[in-house]
Structure 1
Amino acid sequence: MPALKKIALTVASAALLPGLVLSPASAADKDKSDDRQPKPPATMSSLGGERLARAGTQVALGPGAPVLPKELTGRSWIVANAESGEVLAAHNAHWRLPPASTMKMLFADTLLPALRPTTSTYTVKDSDLAAIGEGSSLVGVKEDHTYTVHDLWLGVFLRSGNDAVHVLAQMYGGMPRTVAAMQKHAEELQALDTRVVSPDGYDAPGQVSSAYDLTLIARSGLQKKDFREYAATASADFPGEQKTGKKRENFEIQNTNRLLTGGLGVDPYQGIAGVKNGYTTHAGNTFTGVAERDGTVLLVTVMNPSAEESHAVYKEAAHLLDWGFAASGKVTPVGELVPPKSVDTGTAPSAGPTSGGKGAQPAAGADQGSGGPADTAHASAAGGSSGVGTALAVIGGALAVLAAGVFLVNRRWPLHLPRR
């Protein structure tokens, strides 16, 4: 496949955002004092630990541990160690809420093993784009134009393009088959709060997930090299419209994850490496991110903050990451991210359809190789222990490391998932 012209990742050596003082249950107290805010259900799932079934903020501070940041307004959030699976703190972790485009993490984790990036092309039909919801985010896929699978995955991860999702779903076998496969994979991951109705995350009746589930899904996806590289790509070239008598030109697309790229009042986060943001009318803003610092890898999910501050979802996620890095080793975990069912049973998930027939799907959690974008494009996270901004460039289709640092994208995976 052709090499991308431009891979850009600007990671500022940002100072730690302040984690100021309130009591550990401050977010829960805020919910109680604001009658306008929806209330979490009295009973939620206890998967991962009894404390995760409780409403409000759950944290167990030890000696020297910082208190949680103030002004956390997310209806639900979680901070977890990506490697050990320990949940450091959570707030309404199992509250089932609309996920918006964070649902695309499950879409990618389910379909990437079957629709691997290739040099082959697909010609988009009118019917492929017919069911896209009004007001959807789009990357610019055009009917009667050809795209590689690699192009389409860039559209999913960088621009959150529902048009790219719909085309890939048709290549997989259609929307009903895609939804069924995603639901089955969610159950394999034990993401049991999740109900899939629309694979692109567009608002649909009954479509829900939770901060806990989105974190499980991100953890699974990040064990796939393709997933890691797409999630960490800041910008890339995407095929433009073919005009009669003229050469088809590319245009640049940028990742909409503001903690990765910065902009609009948000600074790039030190050590960030993805994962996915979203917004719909019913879901509000949602975000799941992964970052590394001094050898510690954390996952954070924030769902629907009520703060009127611009881009509050990113700022609250950054505050929680800062807290998590400072609190690591100083708190008693309040729960755990459970492993996929196949880790317990030793069996792999069933095979899934591919664009050219059936093929065996690797076990959940397995690092499934590069499959494409590693050969042509990828952007890194900021160096963890060194704190040095890093970048990767493509030279003749090969990767070249331009600065030293620890790269989450190239970190040794898969994670060591616990056996229960």
Structure 2
Amino acid sequence: MKLKEKKSRTSKRQILRKSVASVLLLNMLCLSTVPAVALAEGQQTEATSTTPAVQQSNSSIPSVESLELKVKSAILLEPVSGQVLLNVNGDTPLPPASMTKMMTEYIVSDLVKQGKFSWDEVVTVRENASKTIGSRIFLAEGDQHTIRELYIAMAVGSANDATVALAEHVAGSEQAFVKMMNDEAQRMGMTNTYFANSTGLDIKDMPKEFQPANDKETVMSAMDAATLAKYIVTDHPDFTEFTTIQQYKFRERDTAPMVNWNYMLEANKNVTNFKQFAYEGLDGLKTGHTSRAGSCFTGTAERNGMRLISVVMGTEATKTMKAEDVRFIETRKVLDYGFNNFETKQVVAPKTTVEGTETVTVKKAKNVDVPVVTDQGVSFVIPKGADMSSLQSAVALNEETALVAPLKQGTEVGTVTYSYKVPGSDEPVEKTVKLITAQDAEKANWFKLFLRAIGDFFKDLFNGIKNLF
């Protein structure tokens, strides 16, 4: 009886196994037909897609030409990586008009940051500032205002007289300040820039007795304007304290406040006259307009942790729109191009081990093979959804003679350069970071060094004998 029951249970288990196997086989056969059916119906699933992500992304990125920009030049820059995402005649020197004031703003902010001046310091207006024309707040010689008040008038109302007053207070004369401006431009790598004054006015529009000795006018390329803006947002991240002011009453007796010429400020989304220009995340920087320059604008906006800097120069009036409004329409096109199609992606985390260079040899160390890692992370601006498999790295180690114990954790032992070829771009984007020791490299004691020297001696001797044959 027990034998029969045992056989019966065995038979049932076999039947169950066969049933389960049949069901699994049937499911596999059915599922294997899904991709064919999906493709036949013109649908695509994640499992059946054979198109690389980067190609899908690139096909959706419009060409710069398709934007039909109505500008003489334009640049779109990501300031952290320095990547240029759009370039239309970006290296052509053009009149920048009041975008010149960005350099005046940078220098004054920098000197305050260094403690050489204070925002509450009082400035006495001189003759040059009182005679300066164009956009102004009608300063009279002898008027007194703080650096902060004049700075706001310059940043918000683009006041030429306030700008000159600041320049003269800082350097003694406007032309001495201009030298500071040109020196800073050279330091920043602005190779297609020359400043004739602190305001961006044409020389003929300056008070005659304060005009420069030569007749070389102010010029700046869109790329240089973006570079200058990059220094502003990087070195002075509090720039928005001034650039986001929508209106400012300079004197109590003034009948109306000055209005920020930057209509694209996000805060203007609730202002009837400006809401058509308001742009999400936009918080700076500087407009410009003269008859020679046309209308210009250096803008910057931040969305989802990514800041972009845009520059448009030389916009002209249309049948339906003033030139100063056209610059904002064109800026919107440029910024949309960046935010809609690109993203910032960390491709290497901080303290990452580089494949092939996991350790370095440190002479006289207790453990001669010391682990090394990157000192910081690496981020690139890439097309949304792009494939990063083409990321490459190149290591350059310091000379071995410099790597001698003891070494502290975090000691630089070399560099690693990461490069990525953005699809559609001629040049790869690169970033170099330091390679540092991941732990202390303690010096070995004399006995261990003695034994190691004996070992090295016999090793060299053996290799010498071997090479004889």
Q: Same fold (TM over 0.5)?
A: yes
Per the alignment, residue 121 of structure 1 pairs with 122
Q: Output aligned runs, 1:314-333, within 5 Å.
A: 314-328=328-342, 329-330=382-383
**Aligned partners of 2:329, 2:258: CA distance in 1, in Å?**
23
1:82–1:298 CA contact under 8 A, matched in 2: yes
Residues 1:151 and 2:149 aligned together: yes
Q: Residue in 1 aligned with 2:175?
A: 176
Q: Deviations over 1:73-125 (max 9, x none)?
A: 10100112122211111100101100000010011112222255532322323
| Aligned twin of 2:165 | 167
| Residue 318 of structure 1, CA deviation | 0.7
Q: Distance in 1 between matches of 2:431 and 2:305?
A: 19
Corresponding residue for residue 220 of structure 2: 209
Whether the aligned pair in 2 keeps the contact of 1:215 and 1:300 (CA below 8 Å) is: yes
1:44 is matched with which residue? none
8 A Cα contact 1:194 1:207, kept in partner: yes
Give secondary structure in 2 for the equivalent of 1:222: helix
Aligned residue number for residue 312 of structure 1: 326
Q: Provide structure 1 residue ranges, at least 5 long, that are not aligned to the other structure.
A: 1-60, 242-248, 333-416
Paired position in structure 1 for 2:243: 231
Structural mapping, 1:27-176, within 5 Å:
62-68=58-64, 69-115=66-112, 116-130=117-131, 132=132, 134=133, 136-172=134-170, 173-176=172-175
Shift of 1:418: 5.7
Deviation of residue 233 (structure 1)? 2.0
Distance in 1 (alpha carbons) for counterparts of 2:80 and 2:102: 18
User: Where does residue 282 of structure 1 map in the other structure?
Assistant: 292
- One-letter amino acid of the structure 1 residue matched with residue 243 of structure 2: A
Match of 2:40 in 1: none
CA distance in 2 between partners of 1:268 and 1:117 (Å): 33
TM-score, normalisation: structure 1:
0.59
Aligned to 1:298: 308
2:255 equivalent to 1:257: no
- Contact (CA 8 Å) 1:64, 1:330: kept in 2 or not? no
Residue identity opposite 1:319 in structure 2: K
Show the counterpart of 2:211: none
* Cross-structure match for 2:17: none
| Cα pair 2:123 2:165 within 8 Å, conserved | no
Alignment correspondent of 1:13: none
Aligned-partner Cα distance in 1 for 2:315–2:70: 5
SS in 1 for 2:161: helix
The structure with the greater share of residues assigned to helix is 2
Query: What CA distance in whole angstroms lies between the structure 1 residues aligned with 2:257 and 2:312?
Result: 28
SS at match of 1:111: helix
Counterparts of 1:253-402 in structure 2, within 5 Å, are 253-260=258-265, 261=268, 263=273, 266-306=276-316, 308=318, 309-310=321-322, 311-328=325-342, 329-330=382-383
1:322–1:127 CA distance, 2 compared to 1 (3 A): closer
User: Quick check: 2:93–2:192 contact (8 Å CA) kept in 1?
Assistant: yes
Map of 1:388 onto structure 2:
none
In 2, the alpha carbon distance for the partners of 1:307 and 1:125 equals 36
2:92 counterpart letter in structure 1: W
Deviation at 1:176, TM superposition (A): 1.4
* Partner residue, 1:361: none
How far 1:177 sits from its partner (Å)? 1.0
Specify which structure has the bigger relative contact order, considering alpha-carbon pairs within 8 angstroms and separated by 6 or more residues: 1
Taking only aligned residues, the RMSD between alpha carbons, in angstroms, comes to: 2.4
SS at match of 1:259: coil
Which residue type is aligned with residue 283 of structure 1? A
Percent of pairs identical after alignment? 27
Partners of 1:225 and 1:236 lie apart in 2 by 21
1:234-254 CA distance string (max 9 Å, x none): 22331255xxxxxxx785222
- For the residue of structure 2 that corresponds to 1:218, the secondary structure is helix
Distance 1:301 1:99 in 2: 10
Q: Assess if the C-alpha contact under 8 Å between 1:215 and 1:288 holds in 2.
A: yes
Residue identity matched to 2:300: V
* Contact 1:285-1:304 at 8 Å conserved across structures: yes
Conservation of the 8 A alpha-carbon contact between 2:130 and 2:138: no
Q: Which runs of 5+ in 2 are unaligned?
A: 1-56, 204-215, 343-381, 387-429, 434-469
How many pairs does the alignment contain? 266
One-letter amino acid of the counterpart of residue 88, structure 2 = H
Letter in 2 for 1:126: E
The farther-off stretch of 322-331 and 211-220 is 322-331
Q: Distance in 1 between matches of 2:128 and 2:72?
A: 37
Q: Output one character per residue of 1:321-380: Cα deviation in whole Å (capped at 9) or x when no partner.
A: 111101113289xxxxxxxxxxxxxxxxxxxxxxxxxxxxxxxxxxxxxxxxxxxxxxxx
Give the letter for the 1:97 counterpart: L
Q: Distance in 2 between matches of 1:264 and 1:281?
A: 23
Q: Distance in 1 between matches of 2:230 and 2:244?
A: 14
Cα gap change, 1:86 to 1:178, in 2 (>3 Å): same
User: Does structure 2 conserve the Cα–Cα contact (< 8 Å) formed by 1:151 and 1:239?
Assistant: no
Q: Distance in 2 between matches of 1:85 and 1:256?
A: 27
Q: If the length of structure 2 is used for normalisation, what is the TM-score?
A: 0.53
Choose 1 or 2 for highest CA Rg: 2
Contact 1:75 1:304 in 2 (8 A): yes
SS in 2 for 1:147: strand
Q: Which amino acid aligns with 1:62?
A: N
Tell me how far apart the structure 2 counterparts of residues 330 and 113 of structure 1 sit (CA, whole Å).
35
Deviations 1:393-416 (A, max 9, x none): xxxxxxxxxxxxxxxxxxxxxxxx
SS of 1:93's equivalent in the other structure is coil
Is the 1:159–1:256 contact (alpha carbons within 8 Å) kept by the matching residues of 2?
yes
Q: What residue identity is the alignment partner of 2:223?
A: Y
